[in-house]
């Protein structure tokens, strides 16, 4: 079966991402049948959310919003809220 790259809209953030032929071939090789519904950033975020059980209160270094993080904030590193983190990840991916 010949596959082509497919554009998919992430169900969480609305970002359009490309599901490449190579990724599709990998899915077939592993016996996976579902098309991904989340972009790579949201998949990573979901995995982290399910991996950690502790949440720490933080203040975002970019927007100042109060939020929580599964990572213990250590100074002087800047801590970002989820929205600013995702925006930064997407910016770096472009």
**Rounded Cα distance, 60 and 79, in Å:** 6
Predicted confidence pLDDT, tens digits, the chain (94 residues): 557 999 999 999 999 999 999 999 999 999 999 999 999 988 888 877 665 567 788 899 999 999 887 777 787 778 888 889 888 888 887 7
**pLDDT confidence of residue 29:** 92
Q: Domain extents for the chain?
A: 1-51, 53-94
pLDDT value for 9? 96
Bridge partners, 17 (sequence order): 8
Give residue 83's pLDDT. Answer: 87
Residue 38: DSSP 8-state: S
pTM here is: 0.49
> Which parts of 1-94 are beta strand (E)?
6-9, 16-19, 56-59, 66-69
* pLDDT at residue 52 in the model: 57
Show the tokens assigned to 83: 């929205």
**Residue 36: cis peptide before it, omega within 30 degrees of 0:** no
Nearest to 44 by CA among 16, 85, 7, 92: 85
**Total residues found in the chain within this entry:** 94
């Amino acid at each position: 079966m010949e596959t082509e790259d497919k554009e998919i809209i992430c169900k969480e953030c609305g970002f359009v991402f490309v599901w490449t032929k190579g990724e599709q071939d990998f899915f077939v090789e592993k016996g996976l049948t579902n098309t991904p519904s989340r972009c790579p950033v949201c998949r990573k975020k979901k995995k982290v959310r399910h991996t950690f059980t502790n949440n720490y209160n933080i203040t975002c270094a970019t927007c100042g919003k109060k939020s929580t993080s599964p990572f213990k904030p250590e100074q002087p590193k800047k801590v970002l809220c989820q929205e600013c983190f995702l925006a930064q990840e997407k910016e770096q991916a472009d």
